[in-house]
Structure 1
Amino acid sequence: MEVEYPQTTAILHDLDVNAGNSADDENVDVEKPGDSDGEEAFKGGWSSAIYIMWSEIAERFAQYGISSNLMLYLTKELHESLVDAAETFYAYVGFSALLPLLGAFVADSYTGRYMAVVYSSLIYIVGVLTLTVSVGFVSEPYKKVSFFISLYIVVLAQAGFRPCIQALAADQFNEDNEKQKRAKNSFFNWWFFGIAAGASAAAVVVSYIQVAFNWWIGFLIVAISMILAFLLFIAGSKLYQVQIPKGSPWTAIVQVLVAAFRKRRITPIDGTEQEVFNTGPQEALSPTNQYKFLDKATIIDEIDKSSEVQNPWRLCTVTQTEEVKMLLRLLPVWLSTLMFFVVIVQPHAFFVQQAAAMDRKILAFTITPVAFIVSVGLFVIITVPLYDWGFVPLARKITNIPSGITVLQRIGTGLVISILDMVVAAMVEARRLQVARDHGLDDEPKAEVPMNVLWLLPQCIILGIADIFGIVGVQQFFYEQIPDGMKSIGSAVYLSALGVGSLLSHVLVSTVAGIFPHWLTNNLNASRLDNFYWLVSGLSIIWLGFFLIVSNSYVYKKPAGAAPH
């Protein structure tokens, strides 16, 4: 159910009152964006989503302002070893990507997405302010402890902010309205555009200020950015369409599993349509033919007929059962995208190392390795308008699909392009190693190979294209295909894939270093990073085959009465 939140005056008090309203309250007026003919009554759509998007851009600026130079701060300022700093960094990235699953559960079950963003934003601000103080004004021996406490306050805040902000923005578009549905397809493209813009700006501006001027000034800019994100979010509150949480969605899921198990011995009567529990007009989903063993939870047996009150642990609705099926269908898709995210994290690991070992002079400027990798984000910024205004309309004319291609086709395209990226990266690295050998630099780990860093540009451009297809596709897929009461969890599932992909990358590097120690050494000029890239591309091809099998059998979410996808 959706309700309108009050004006921003006394916002926190009023919103807490509204958040406590029952989802079953029949006196609450519900208005979806695009339902009303009157323009003044219109809520939601881009008019409200734009506030949320600007808030996300500011938050991404803050987040990347912290992470872009984190390794450097840990080693240079906190004097951690390279191994310890790497472990700290991986832990930060991992918790940031996996904890949103918990935050999403709390939001969907209890607080609602709006209040989750409000609360987590306030915690976020506290975290970045204390981070600034710990960096600039706390001396040893407390500096390191205060820094890590502040850092994990930020991680805690991200657990609530990251899964809810995108889901709340997507909630502003009503899929029952064709114009709004088309706008929603564009929304995911422009959302990623905003993320790329905020992250790229932080990687250039904040990282430069931290190194060239002072660390605490850079973190202060991060804190100001997060305060701005909160103010932008609150500014649009009166326009938002907000869904009230209906309690834990996991209870209904467990009820289906229990009911299906209790009726496991029931078999359909041949030639007779089995009587099932269907609540009529409230049913939102049509039955599907997958995982039919769960359908037994909807069959009305003699015990159900004789009961005055239906036992939800014995009898479930068709929609309840279909929602459990949806979750089961999502798991193979999630697994099939993990290798894609292994590719996605490579710029933050080895692309930077390659750039550092090459000639970085472009015209009269010498750029930093991190600044060059920003080209991935910059290319995303350039390409999103081309995709949304060029590719989608053209593809729509051919396929008659509002988004041009299906979401799974978009993800599959991203997977194919990511494989191409690893192939190109392997070929470029092989060329770089050959140049190093030709100039006798293979035994000099700190030497810059006389090969311009622009040779890395093709793999950065290709990766940017893979991002536009793959990452945006995964975000949209899990938001749209998750049950309606679990939209925040849908956003968190994407983040968890990113987190697990990062961990898989770490495991892969450790395994390769153990089996083929000469592939990845401290001397990149004597390593065989190209072989590692070939390995990743080979594994990605295997994962692509798995994805094709999964996507070919996938049954899209189908509302009751809708035609098959």
Structure 2
Amino acid sequence: MDMEMWTKDGSVDRFGKPARRDISGGWRSGLLLLANQGLSTLAFVGVEVNLVLFSTRVLKQANAEASNTFSRWMGTVNLFSLVGAFLSDAYLGRYRSCAIFQSILTLGLVMLSLTTSYLLLKPSGCGKEELQCDPHSEFELAMFYLSIYLVAFGNGAGEPSIATFGTDQFDEEHEHEKASKNFFYSYFYVATNIGSLFSETILAYLQNLGHWALGFWVSAGSALFALVVFLGGSFRYRHFRRCGNPVARFFQVIFAAWKKLSVEIPAEDGLYEIQGADGANNGGRRIHHTSDFKFLDHAAIITSKDKINPTNQNNQHPRQHNPWQLCTVTQVEEVKCVFRLLPIWICTITFSGTFVQMVSLFIEQGASMKTTIYKFHIPPASMTVFDILISSTFIIFYKKLIAPFYTKLTKTIPKGPSDLRKMGYGLIFAMAGMLTAGFVEIHRKKYALEESEELSSLFILWQIPQYVLLGIGEAFVYVSQLDFFGSQVPDVMRSLGIGLSLSSISLGSYFCSLVLTVAMKITTKEGDLGWIPANLNDGFMERYFFLMTVLTGMELVLYIWFARRYKSISLERREDVGMENEMS
């Protein structure tokens, strides 16, 4: 039998049989999933890109209130990524998760389109700058919020699964497929940007002209097409069997370690681990023991109550034990991996907050600038196209041009900067982007038009540098973050690792909302208009941008401290697992 015909990473086909390399997975499946991601992103961003303007023009919210509405919604989108990742790893599996959550996304977009068409746009044609909409009833607003939060749940919960499912299509034990797997997250982000590009140009332009319902219906159609594309590859996809509830495994370690805190930790070979075929199931691998977070090692201490013979703990078929009293070294190391990742995760929250500004306050800033060139009107939301183009270009040419230049410049090993180092560079570019936005705002107010209450004669293209700088930072941080979090968690928690990465955007959004709320409360105490009033010419939005610059700088200092002390996960080789399985 030709062993090259079968995958070596434990993946199976849709019938649960070992996956054949020639008829499953690879780039045929990967390209379907990239197309699906592009179409799903087009659908989602069609709502995201102009939600702030929709809130001000259709729902008649003030600037700060609209920005907070968006930040809370965007935060919820990415918070749902943790929920979806947990359900995927523990119960549903990645394929079912993708199908279910994308169906919910489509349902939410159809509801939003119907709600906008028949409930919110009254009188007909309202939602433009010159025609305000009538006040809305509680029922109409409830239907609107239900719709956008269904969209949030469908998109947020499904994204970790689709990203991880894409990498599942490549066998990391095969040299050619392993190289493709390493590139997948980069192409995944490019596909995301391509989908965003259409929404942030064509759809943003239509919605800025007041064609809100049309824009939402296009998004709904794109989501439906994305679902059809995904289901079309059902017979080709590779799958991994579920490995149980990762959250339960996490708390089993905490509980078992707490119960045995008074027991002395033996030598490393005295801790409990299962060897042989029972030790690594469903494509999962054991993790080598590490010396940090030693209090967790208590969970792997064998006592007389555990009914395990210490001299026979490594046999092929160990007796069943209570997992809330005794855990394997691998299970303990899974928890250690999460603890090591948490400081890195926390230190990307403020960056995520700066990223959220591109689709909230940057748009409000652009709407208060000169947006016409000859007779063509540039939608403020379309300025994010510069972020998309620069980040996509940066990702595409990174391996061929940027990494080799970095290696030559720094005289380091050919691999270029590590994921941790790239995330640090991204924080620096984020600081530069927010600082630039602050100076642009000062410059914009200098050119405020006396005959207009809200506009400035400064041309909107002055915003390009801040979008470019944040785009480079985005390329550094988010691709590296996906790769890093996907590789630094155990096999049984890969979707949860990606979900943790994406959820930093959630906390960043909530953090921005909190900072903005506190800033507005403090600056409006004595009857002042505050930093971000309805008329930006009367406010000090640049101070908010400078505050975010300082906070990102503080986060960078903390990040460097934790990154230098980070210890990478140490997994056993799959070929070692295979040899043990053969021996068993």
Structure 1 length normalisation: TM-score? 0.85
**Aligned residues of 2:74 and 2:506 also touching (Cα < 8 A):** yes
2:20 corresponds to 1:71: no
Secondary structure of residue in 1 paired with 2:335: helix
Shift of 1:72: 3.3
* Change beyond 3 A, Cα 1:557–1:116: same
1:531 aligns with 2:543: yes
Give the counterpart letter for 1:301 in structure 2: T
Partner amino acid, structure 2, of 1:292:
K
Q: What does residue 491 of structure 1 align with?
A: 498
Q: Calculate the aligned-residue CA RMSD, in Å.
A: 2.8
Partner of 1:25: none
Deviation track 1:508-545 (CA, whole Å, cap 9, x = no partner) reads 12222233455333332343333322222111111111
Q: Which residue of 1 aligns with 2:460?
A: 453
Given that 1:199 and 1:377 are in contact with CA atoms closer than 8 Å, whether structure 2 keeps it comes out as: yes
Q: In the alignment, which residue of structure 2 is the partner of 1:185?
A: 182
**Secondary structure, aligned partner of 2:38:** helix
Residue in structure 2 matched with residue 15 of structure 1 by the alignment: none
Aligned 1:439-518 pairs, distance under 5 A: 441=450, 445-449=453-457, 451-517=458-524, 518=530
2:272 match: 277
What is the Cα deviation at residue 78 of structure 1?
4.5
CA contact (8 A) 2:62 2:534 kept: no
- Cα deviation, 1:187-245, whole Å, max 9, x if unaligned, reads 22221111111112112222333454743322221111011101111122222111222
Distance 1:124 1:29 in 2: 31
| Mapped partners of 1:274, 1:187: distance in 2 | 38
What does residue 581 of structure 2 align with? none
Between the aligned partners of 1:522 and 1:136, the Cα distance in structure 2 is 27
What is the CA-CA distance between 1:491 and the residue it aligns to? 2.2
Distance 2:308 2:345 in 1: 42
Q: How many residues align?
A: 527
**Distance in structure 2 (CA, Å) of the matches to 1:534 and 1:149:** 35
Paired residue type of 1:226: A
| Structure 1: gaps of 5 or more residues | 7-17, 19-27
The answer on whether the counterparts of 1:2 and 1:241 sit within 8 Å (CA) in structure 2 is: no
Which whole-Å CA distance do the structure 2 matches of 1:389 and 1:29 have between them? 38
Aligned ranges for residues 199-214 of structure 1 at < 5 Å? 199-212=196-209, 214=211
Displacement of 1:3 in angstroms is: 4.6
Using the aligned pairs only, state the percent identity.
Answer: 29
Question: Which string of whole-angstrom CA distances, capped at 9 and with x for unpartnered residues, describes residues 266-289 of structure 1?
Answer: 2246xx665122222435211112
Call closer, same or farther: CA 1:521–1:88 in 2, change over 3 Å: closer
Answer whether contact 2:265 2:297 (CA < 8 A) is retained: no
| C-alpha deviation, 1:290, in angstroms | 1.1
User: Compared with structure 1, are the counterparts of its residues 71 and 447 closer, same or farther at alpha carbon in structure 2 (3 Å cutoff)?
Assistant: closer
* Contact 2:63–2:533 (8 Å) recurs in 1: no
Alignment-mate amino acid for residue 87 of structure 2: V
Matched, 1:30 2:30: no
Matched, 1:110 2:121: no
- Indicate whether 1:543 and 2:538 are aligned: no
* 166-175 or 308-317, which deviates more: 308-317
Deviation at 1:123, TM superposition (A): 2.4
CA contact (8 A) 1:445 1:524 kept: no
Amino acid paired to 2:567: V
SS of 2:297 mapped into structure 1: helix
Q: 1:236 aligns with which of 219, 233, 236?
A: 233
Indicate whether 1:422 and 2:434 are aligned: yes
Q: Which moved more, 1:422-431 or 1:75-84?
A: 75-84
Alpha-carbon distance between aligned partners in 2 of 1:339 and 1:87, rounded to the nearest angstrom:
16
Take 2:439 and 2:407, find their aligned partners in 1: how far apart are those partners?
A: 36
Q: Does the C-alpha gap of structure 1 residues 73 and 462 become closer, same or farther in structure 2, counting only changes over 3 Å? A: closer
User: Post-superposition shift, 1:159?
Assistant: 4.2
CA distance in structure 1 between the aligned counterparts of 2:326 and 2:18, rounded to whole angstroms: 29
Deviation of the 1:251 alpha carbon: 2.0
Quick one: which amino acid aligns to residue 473 of structure 2? A
Seen in structure 2, the aligned counterparts of structure 1 residues 111 and 94 have a Cα distance that, compared at 3 Å, is: same
TM-fit CA distance, 1:335: 0.9
Given candidates 347, 370, 378, the residue that maps to 2:389 is: 378
3-state SS in 2 of match to 1:99:
helix
Query: Compared with structure 1, are the counterparts of its residues 172 and 394 closer, same or farther at alpha carbon in structure 2 (3 Å cutoff)?
Result: farther
Determine if the alignment matches structure 1 residue 291 to structure 2 residue 293: yes
Against the structure 1 CA distance between its residues 362 and 372, is the aligned structure 2 distance closer, same or farther, given a 3 Å change threshold?
farther
1:557 to 569, 576, 581: 569
Amino acid at match of 2:492: G
CA contact (8 A) 2:105 2:155 kept: yes
Instruction: Quote the residue 2:325 is aligned against.
Output: 314
Judge conservation of contact 1:4–1:238 (CA < 8 Å) in 2. no
**Amino acid across the alignment from 1:333:** I
CA distance in 2, matches of 1:534, 1:71: 22
Task: Rate the CA distance shift 1:29–1:121 in 2: closer, same or farther, 3 A.
Answer: same
Q: Are 1:216 and 2:223 counterparts? A: no
Q: Does 1:132 align with 2:110?
A: no
Q: Which residue of 2 aligns with 1:327?
A: 338
Residue aligning to 1:391: 402
Any conservation in 2 of the 1:172–1:240 contact (CA below 8 Å)?
A: yes
Q: Contact 1:286 / 1:561 at 8 angstroms: preserved in 2?
A: no
The one-letter amino acid of 2:160's match is P
Q: Is the 8 A contact 1:268 1:274 kept in 2?
A: no
